[in-house]
Amino acid sequence: MAVPKSEYLSDSWRDGLFSANACIVGRNVEKTERVAREIASVRSGAKVMGIGAVDVRQFDSLKNAVDRCVAELGGIDYVIAGAAGNFLASIEQLSVNAFKSVMDIDVLGSYNTLKATVPHLVTSGGKHRVDSATNTPSPAGTGGRIIFVSATLHYTGTPFQSHVSVAKAAVDALSNSVAIEYGPLGVTSNIIAPGPIAATEGIERLLPTDIKERYVRMQPLGRLGSVRDIADATVYLFADTGSYVNGQTLVVDGASWRTSVTGSSYGHYPDNLLSGQEIQNVTGKKKEKAKL
């Protein structure tokens, strides 16, 4: 059963704007293949590959997936580098290995994604360049675009998120470097920094249930964002509308980060940070191993 367009994209975009096939990669085989089937249901006749058992921390693992994608679909025009790992922990609670794990997933994973796909993006960017003399878009459409998914945590500093803040700041720097080095080759690189988005794993895993209602009320727009908000931002950057947007960060958070201060989600300075206790009421928190 096809997913209604209103659930994933605004009506502002014309039908058929993108008719591209897609390939998604992930660590979990079943989940990756299931999501690929869901994406394929959006457009009749679409080919969507779901390649699981991919570890973005291992370049060869990712490179093999990219090679499969190119062999099956013929090339790569757009890339979304969204590798991320997160959990709530103070610096006191954060082990060296845990910090390294997040850096490996977010930073190394993003870099590996870039390295594995950038030759194909350069090829695509060369085919879809805007005519500099007439400013006319390529009749073949757009291509040679990469988006890095980041966050706003490091803009002001966020308690229990030092590991991710450091990692996402590095991802931002990587995207900016890509924009400068590969821009002359027709490749654009930009960042989407989502805020609190409803019905996502991030909200379910990282927002304690006992403060969720208060947190939503504190948002400048009085609500959480939607997956469609992020999809619209992606289309903007990948379509002709984003042809001269390069090296930029598109924050899609309803101004949430501008009103955030330490502990604002709690209404006071976090008691857990002062006491050293773990954060409670968080869905998906790893259980401690039994001690002998």
Tell me the catalytic residues.
Answer: 150, 168
| CA count, 13 A, side-chain hemisphere, 116 | 27
Distance of CA 197 to the CA centre of its chain: 12
- Residue 115 and residue 62: Cα distance in Å, rounded? 10
Residue 51 has phi, psi (to 5 degrees) of: -110, 110
Q: Could you write out the DSSP letters of every residue in 206-219?
A: HS-GGGHHHHHHTS
Token pair recorded at residue 36: 């690929």
Q: What residues form DSSP beta bridges with 81?
A: 148
- Residue 219 and residue 256: Cα distance in Å, rounded? 6
Give, for 228, the enclosing helix (H) or strand (E).
helix 227-238
Token pair recorded at residue 188: 């654009």
Given CA atoms 83, 88, 91, 93 in this order, what sign does their dihedral have? Answer: negative
> Which value, in Å, is the radius of gyration of the alpha carbons in the chain?
20
- Residue 278 and residue 13: Cα distance in Å, rounded? 45
Lookup result for tokens 């073949």: 140
